[in-house]
Amino acid sequence: AIARAGDRLVVEVRDDGRGGADVTAGTGLQGLRDRVAGLGGSMYVISPPGGPTTISVELPCGS
């Protein structure tokens, strides 16, 4: 899903996997979080055991 919330662009991606994603394990999600932060944004990962995993990214967006 992609939406605009005021001066922020919000992108949310959800899968149907088994969950348990860990931003601190490995480099993929951490690298994505670093790139989002470099653009002045925030990234949130919700990934309970058993799934699903949801990744939300908020980026600044000019008005």
The pLDDT of residue 10 is 98
**What predicted TM-score, i.e. pTM, was given to this entire model?**
0.86
Which runs of E-coded beta strand occur in 1-63? Answer: 2-5, 8-14, 42-46, 54-60
Give pLDDT tens digits for 19-58.
Answer: 999 888 887 999 999 999 999 999 999 999 999 999 999 9
The pLDDT of residue 24 is 84
The pLDDT of residue 63 is 62
Domains annotated on the chain, with CATH: 2-60 (3.30.565.10)
